[in-house]
Structure 1
Amino acid sequence: MMQPFKQLLSRKVVAVSLSAALLMTGTLAIPAPEAGAMSYSKAQDVIATSKSYMGTPYKFGAKLGQTKVFDCSSFVWTVFNQYGKKLPRTSKEMSKVGTYVSKANLKPGDLVFFYSPIHHVGIYIGNGKVIHTYGAPGVTISDMTKGWWKNNYTTARRVM
């Protein structure tokens, strides 16, 4: 008879303790999970939209809101803006929004950043590939698992 009472009392102590922790701090000290990826269908839409700009010429400092030329960040800004996601103007500023994603956990639609300090951004499309723009040929797809892209990868963020 005494054992069930102790279990009940123990549960109440735990419940009161958790309630007090929430009341005083507004949160529990539980690690936050890594951000969830955008839905598969939305990621496919973002990728399809980004691919629709393949070959669009590169121009450093390209003006936001137009689609005749892009720099890397205006390209990413334009694609995500079409899905209601407002991003900062520069790749460096973009690298501070959303949630960090490790390279091993990249999902299509994540933003990937290059150089140190950061001054290049693209959209991860899966299978180690990134769609982005720089110089000729304009908007293009590169393999992040090889060469320069592999050696200069810096970080990634999940923004949707």
Structure 2
Amino acid sequence: MGLLGVPYRRGGTSENTGFDCSGFVRHLYEQSFGKLLPHRAAEQAKVTETIDPAELKPGDLVFFNTMKRAFSHVGIYVGDGKFIHSPRAGKSVQVDDMRSAYWQKRFNGARRVDAPAAPSPVAPAQSTPDHKR
């Protein structure tokens, strides 16, 4: 998918205007599977199945505590310890390593959506496209 580089936008759910973390996840699952997830990360955690992090597959959801509350950030696991997400204001959709100290410290758990695990939503070697802001 060509969503790398789409800017962060609080409350955003569109590749044309930008995404917040849960809006990005919601968009990908709706477009890829026709599965409509709630917009808030904490609500997405409630409607998905808890899995052991050792069982992560591409397409699974990974949750983090980035705002001093559980399940305040969500991304999609892409394999090899990495996940794709829309991080915060001033940033764009990007791939990060869950094994970094920052993300390890904030990791809240892994969940699986009631759908087959998705193929990786981004090819690791893709370049970041420019998007109109």
Is the structural similarity TM-score above 0.5?
A: yes
Among 118, 122, 136, the alignment partner of 2:75 is 122
Q: Equivalent residue for 2:54?
A: 104
Point out which structure has higher relative CO (alpha carbons under 8 A, 6+ apart): 2
Greater strand share, structure number: 2
Structure 1 Cα separation of the partners of residues 77 and 86 of structure 2? 13
Q: Give the partner amino acid of 2:48.
A: G
* Cα deviations by residue, 1:21-74 (Å, 9 ceiling, x for unpaired): xxxxxxxxxxxxxxxxxxxxxxxxxxxx3xx10010001111x3x212100011
RMSD over aligned CA atoms reads: 1.1
Unaligned runs of 5+ residues in structure 1 are 1-48
Q: Identity over aligned residues, as a percent?
A: 43
Q: Does 1:141 align with 2:107?
A: no
Structure 1 residue ranges, 4+ long, deviating more than 2 angstroms after superposition: none
| TM-score, reference length from structure 1 | 0.64
Give the 5 Å matches for 1:27-106.
49=1, 52-62=2-12, 64=13, 66-68=14-16, 69-82=18-31, 83-106=33-56
Structure 2 Cα separation of the partners of residues 101 and 67 of structure 1? 29
Unaligned runs of 5+ residues in structure 2 are 116-133
Say which one has the larger Rg: 1
Q: Equivalent residue for 1:16?
A: none
Greater helix share, structure number: 1
| TM-score, reference length from structure 2 | 0.77
Alpha-carbon deviation of 1:146?
1.3
How many residues matched? 108
